[in-house]
Homo-oligomer: A and B are copies of this chain.
């Protein structure tokens, strides 16, 4: 069953460009994971410090593998999270789409 993660970050003041550049690198690495289907990075049009990730994996286990990856540990936990004021992660099941 496909597994979607929506992460919403608010960066520390003035750190959004640094966070976005790190997440661009993270996106490239994540898209190479065999279980990854999408990894998109977005910035709010209203609050430049609000950043949203939309990630899709084949299964929940593929997301667990993502979280165990070196790029997640180094880039997200090691470098992005210290630049955030808030971080919220939603784990989701997409509805099946009709024909």
Contacts of A44 in B (CB 8 A): 90-92
A50 interface neighbour in B4, B46, B90, Cβ under 8 Å: B90
A92 interface neighbour in B43, B90, B97, Cβ under 8 Å: B43
Query: Does A94 count as interface, using CB distance less than 8 angstroms?
Result: yes
Query: Does A8 count as interface, using CB distance less than 8 angstroms?
Result: yes
Closest residue on chain B to residue A98 by CB atoms = B28
B95 near A52: Cβ-Cβ < 8 Å: no
Question: Which residues of chain A in 32-47 are interfacial with respect to chain B, using CB atoms and an 8 Å cutoff?
Answer: 40-46
Query: Does A84 count as interface, using CB distance less than 8 angstroms?
Result: no
Q: How far is the CA of A66 from the CA of B45 in the complex (A)?
A: 18
Contacts of A92 in B (CB 8 A): 42-45, 52
